[in-house]
Structure formats: structure tokens, C-alpha cells
A and B are shown apart, each in its own frame.
Chain A
Amino acid sequence: MLKELFFIIVSSVLVNNFVFSRFLGNCPFLGVSSKTETAVGMGMATTFVLTMTAVAAYFIQHYILMPFGLAPFLQIVSFILVIASLVQLVEMVVLKISPALYNAFGIYLPLITTNCIVLAVALLIPLKNYNLIESTIFGLGAGLGFTLALILMSGIREDMEFGDVPDALKGPAIVFITAGLLAMIFLGFAGLVPL
């Protein structure tokens, strides 16, 4: 059991990193990776939401959709509805309870609804037949993988400020190329974990 959980983490952080090998969450990856501070905040917020979503998705799948046979067509709608509301709820609660916490990561929450990692995690959980604990860990791993990608990219981008990137490549282009190189490097982990 522990071994499986460990594999799930390693797989979603390194081997099948959500950004570099599953192509998920690229828009915020592109947008929020220019400063390390922001990257860390965004990463933490996403990890939090992902973990919560994983749990929520598990319950909806197992206690609403499956019993009534609604899974094939209501999955998407119900998941996204829950995610959107959850995110908004968390945002409001955090804002009220701790403005400091809100400033640290709450402000990233609205961005997360449109982060496709969240829905993808929700959809992958039924697909992979994970149980509750596995689902939670999967959500956590996805978040950590995303955070790692963000931090690496933000560090490189901060250094790039001092570089002399050709004008045409400035902005998203060089970020994509760098992401490509990072994805290439992450392929080194290919075959690390039997899946």
C-alpha cells in the first residue's frame, strides 16, 4: 500500500509530471512562472485545491454518479461545478479568516478554476479506480508536480531577465522552448516507476 502511494507521488511529480509530460495546466504555468515568489504561492494554492478536489471527486463519483448511473454524462458537469464552487468558497473563506493567507495564496485561487489540471485530476480518479487515500495522494502529487514545474521555470525565467533572448522569442516562445527542454530532461525519469 505504502509502496503504491509512493509510486503515485513519484509518478505524478517526476515521471509523468503534469506539466511536462501530461500537458496540463500550461496556461497558469506560462503566466505565473515569471517570479519565484508568485510561483511558490500559486503552486501551494493549486496543491491545496487539487487535494480537496480529489477528495470531492471521489465522493461525488462514488456516492452520486455511480449509484444512479449518471457517470457517463454528468461527470464533467458535476465535477466542474463542484470545483468552481469549491474554489470560490475557499477564496471567500480564506479572505475572511486570514487576509495574510489570502495575500500569500488566496489571490491565485480564481486562476485555478481554469487550470485544467484540476478537472483532469477529478476525471482521472474514476478512470484509474483509485480509492480514497490513493485519490488524495494523487491530487497532492499532481499539485506538487505542478509546483515543481513552476518553481524550476520561474528560477530560469528570473535568470533569463539578465540574458539576451532574441526579440522574436521573448515572452511565451522562449518559455515554451525552455519547457520543451525541461520536458526532455524529465524524460530521463521514463520507466522509473512501473505503472
Chain B
Amino acid sequence: MLKTFRGGIHPPYNKDLTKHKPVETAKLPDRVIIPMSQHVGAPCEPIVKVGDLVKKGQKIGEARAFVSAPIHASISGKVTAVEPRPHPGGGMVMSVVIESDGKDELFEGINAPKPLAELSPDEIKNLIRESGIVGMGGAGFPTQVKLSPPPGKTIDTIIVNGAECEPYLTADHRLMVERPDDVVLGLEAIMKATGVKNGYIAIEENKPDAIEAIRKAIQAKDGIELVELATKYPQGGEKQLINAVTGREVPSGGLPMDVHVIVDNAGTCAAIANAIKTGMPLVERIATVTGTAVNEPKNLLIRIGTPFSEIIEQCGGFKGEAGKVIMGGPMMGLAQSVLDVPAIKGTSGILVLAKNDVVLSEQSPCIRCARCVDACPIHLLPTTLGKFAERGMWTEAEEYHALDCIECGCCAYVCPAHIPLTQLIRLAKNHIMAAKKK
């Protein structure tokens, strides 16, 4: 039996658009806008000024806090502005704008470190931090922080998240097909850094070619196992993944490390491998550009900071009338209102839906059908939470565990009354957190 969890949904996956398309390297952008906050935690401080000349891989944002990750220039050129710019996450974020000189020169400080076998755990962690590697599965949590559990917390399992359960997206899929060894090398580095002997690479069964590739890559490796998962959304959610792979449940309000697990995205592993092999920090990533309103859907290797408009241009621009531009997948991605926002480290894809495909149904009263209850992978009562949120009953929402919602969107996806449950619960979470901070 394939491993899975209770709850969840089966949306149409629409991965055929790009799943057979090899990753193309995007052309060098004329200009990149690099936000100083691309991760969970404290934003970086820009360490360049307008007029400075920078090179690819040069550090331009310094991470002063522990939970943070440095930021590097992704192209060579001149800094033309250091000012707040629109961020794909919403709002204005301090950003460094670099005008390309077209040369794409490598920063001098970049050289391959020692091979993995010779690196000590601390060296690996340091390399990961200095390379600005953050979780590429979407949340953007600084990876090195995850790998340094506080004393008393032991880790016995590392899971590489290759589920890629979001519809449309194929970035991890292509990565695992094309660079399986990088994924495995990254996992080995993490295992070494944390001293863990058990590694799993978990992949949904709808990616047979990726499974095949990874299987080949781990043949000779000890302690690394391949786990085939049922195809179901949100199989890639870390709590669901841990549950499916190990049978453990992350306690409410807890972290994976509470059940001795670290989950890392396949892309994160590849980025670590890249840093070990070449010393190159995280300045580019694979993103799937897809959707019903993109002329040529593709998997692109893009530089961090490339504006969306430029990326979409490379995929033949819009097809027909574009209704919605989403950073990420259709279930959890963020809708964008302007195209001059840049791709960041967590941009796993850009999805453009045609106007006709954007469902804007009128909300009607909840009929208590409990579809949302059955779909919720956390076993919450989304309908009840939604009602609390609509009436501003934040304390009640908290009692009903609103904070445990992973915002996967399953409830809103199934709701026949078209109630924006996920958004309502997100609103409740926001209020609860605000009240807590006070």
C-alpha cells in the first residue's frame, strides 16, 4: 500500500503541461530586484550602496540574526537603487536593484570547498548558512537553522520532500529526473551535518520517472530509502509527509524536530549539493512557468530577482486574457497584482490562469455538508472556524485550534457554498497571533 494520510483532496493535477519539458536556462535578465527578505526570519541588511559594482555570488545582504539567511547578487552589474520595492509576498520590502552589465562575472570569493567526505558537520552547516540556503518548498525557512536543533532535541530521520503535490508545478519533478545525484548528495550532506543515519526520499507515485531516477541514484547508498506516496494533496505538507513516512504526528503547535524529523525540499537538497560542489551560493532556482494563459509553459532555471514580466516573456508571454498571476501553485500560491515583482528563493513556479478559468462564484450560506471537515488534513472543523472568523470570534476560533491550520486550501477547494474558508481561517490566525503578541 502506498503511504498517505487521512483527509486531503484530489484536484486535477495539470502537470502534463510541463512535466516532460527539460529545464531550460533562462536568459540573463537585464535587471534584477533582490529583496532583502526572502525567508522566514529577520530581513537582511543591504551591504551595498547605489553605484556599487557587484558580481554574481557576491553577498549583498548580511544576515545579522540567527534565524535569517544572507542574500547574494545573482548577476554582475551596477547597483542602481536600494529602496523599498513591491514584493511578491505583498507590501514593500527593502530591495537591491542591480542593472546587468551583461558579463555575468563570478564573484572572486567563490570556489569549491572540500568534497563532502572531508567536511565536518559544522563546516557543512556554515556553508549552508553562508550560501544563503533557505527552504525552497515554499516557506523559505533558513535551512541551517533547521539543521541545528536546540540541545535536548534529537533528530533521527531526514525526509526529502519530493512530493510536489501542488497541481501544475513540476520544478522538483524535473530536478529529480535531471539531477537525482544532487538531491542525494544534498541529503547526504544534511545527514552528515546532523549525524542522522536514516534518510528518506519521498515521492508521489504519479512521478514514475523521478522515482526511477532517484532509485538509481541511491542504489549504492546506505541508510537512504525511497518512499512512494499516494498521489493526494497535500501529501507534501510536512506534517502529512511525516505522518505518511514515519507514522508519527507532529504535536499541535510543535515542529518536526519534536518527533525527531527534519523535512527538506528536494530543491533545497540540490542547492546544498551545488554549494558543496561549486561553492556557489543560492542565486538561481528552477521554477515552473505554466498555466492556461502562458504561451509556452516551461521549467526554467532562473536567477533570483528576475522580474515576473521578464520570466513570462521568455515563455512566449500571455496567451489570451490573463486573469490571475500566481507565485507558486494553485492551492497555496500567492496571487500577484503587478508583474514587476521579482522571483525569490521560494518561487517554485509562476502560474498564470486565463480569465475564464478564474472561478469567482458567489458565496452562499454554509449548508453544513461537512465536506470541508472530511477534506481537512488536520481534522479541523473549517466550517466552524469560518463561522467564528466571520463574526470576529477569535477566542473561540483559537479554542477550535485555528492556529493548527496549515492553510492548505483543501476546505475552500471542496466547499460547495464557495466560502473562502482558508482565507477566513488565515484571518483568524492573524488576529489570534496579533492578540498573542500584545
Chain B residues whose CB sits within 8 angstroms of the CB of A73 once the complex forms: none
Could you give, for residues 358-401 of chain B, a 1 whenever the CB lies within 8 Å of some chain A CB and a 0 otherwise?
00000001000000000000000000000100110000000000
Task: Give min CB distance, A155 to chain B, whole Å.
Answer: 14
Question: Bound state CA distance, A19 and B92, in angstroms?
Answer: 62
Instruction: Bin the interface of chain B by size.
Output: under 10
Q: Would you call A167 an interface residue if the criterion is a C-beta within 8 Å of the partner chain's C-beta atoms?
A: no
Task: Give min CB distance, B17 to chain A, whole Å.
Answer: 41
Chain B 134-154 interface residues, beta-carbon cutoff 8 Å to A = none
Chain B residues whose CB sits within 8 angstroms of the CB of A161 once the complex forms: 391
Q: Would you call A68 an interface residue if the criterion is a C-beta within 8 Å of the partner chain's C-beta atoms?
A: no
Task: Give min CB distance, B291 to chain A, whole Å.
Answer: 37
Chain B 246-272 interface residues, beta-carbon cutoff 8 Å to A = none
5 residue pairs of the A-B complex, CB under 8 angstroms, read A161-B391, A162-B387, A162-B390, A162-B391, A164-B365
Question: Bound state CA distance, A164 and B387, in angstroms?
Answer: 12
Question: Bound state CA distance, A161 and B390, in angstroms?
Answer: 11
Chain A residue with the shortest CB-CB distance to B386: A162
Task: Give min CB distance, A116 to chain B, whole Å.
Answer: 34
Chain A residue with the shortest CB-CB distance to B366: A162
Chain A 139-164 interface residues, beta-carbon cutoff 8 Å to B = 161-162, 164
Task: Give min CB distance, A192 to chain B, whole Å.
Answer: 31
Question: Bound state CA distance, A161 and B365, in angstroms?
Answer: 14
Chain A residues whose CB sits within 8 angstroms of the CB of B391 once the complex forms: 161-162
Question: Bound state CA distance, A162 and B390, in angstroms?
Answer: 9
Chain A residues whose CB sits within 8 angstroms of the CB of B390 once the complex forms: 162
Chain A 159-179 interface residues, beta-carbon cutoff 8 Å to B = 161-162, 164
Chain A residue with the shortest CB-CB distance to B388: A162
Chain A residues whose CB sits within 8 angstroms of the CB of B365 once the complex forms: 164
Chain A residue with the shortest CB-CB distance to B368: A159
Question: Bound state CA distance, A26 and B391, in angstroms?
Answer: 30
Chain A 101-138 interface residues, beta-carbon cutoff 8 Å to B = none
Task: Give min CB distance, A165 to chain B, whole Å.
Answer: 13
Chain A residues whose CB sits within 8 angstroms of the CB of B387 once the complex forms: 162
Chain B residues whose CB sits within 8 angstroms of the CB of A164 once the complex forms: 365
Task: Give min CB distance, B65 to chain A, whole Å.
Answer: 43
Could you give, for residues 100-142 of chain B, a 1 whenever the CB lies within 8 Å of some chain A CB and a 0 otherwise?
0000000000000000000000000000000000000000000
Chain B residue with the shortest CB-CB distance to A162: B387
Chain A residue with the shortest CB-CB distance to B383: A162
Question: Bound state CA distance, A48 and B362, in angstroms?
Answer: 51
Chain A residue with the shortest CB-CB distance to B384: A162
Question: Bound state CA distance, A161 and B391, in angstroms?
Answer: 9
Chain A residue with the shortest CB-CB distance to B387: A162
Question: Bound state CA distance, A47 and B390, in angstroms?
Answer: 37
Task: Give min CB distance, A10 to chain B, whole Å.
Answer: 31
Chain B residue with the shortest CB-CB distance to A164: B365
Task: Give min CB distance, A164 to chain B, whole Å.
Answer: 8
Question: Bound state CA distance, A34 and B67, in angstroms?
Answer: 48
Chain B residue with the shortest CB-CB distance to A161: B391
Task: Give min CB distance, B131 to chain A, whole Å.
Answer: 51
Question: Bound state CA distance, A162 and B396, in angstroms?
Answer: 13
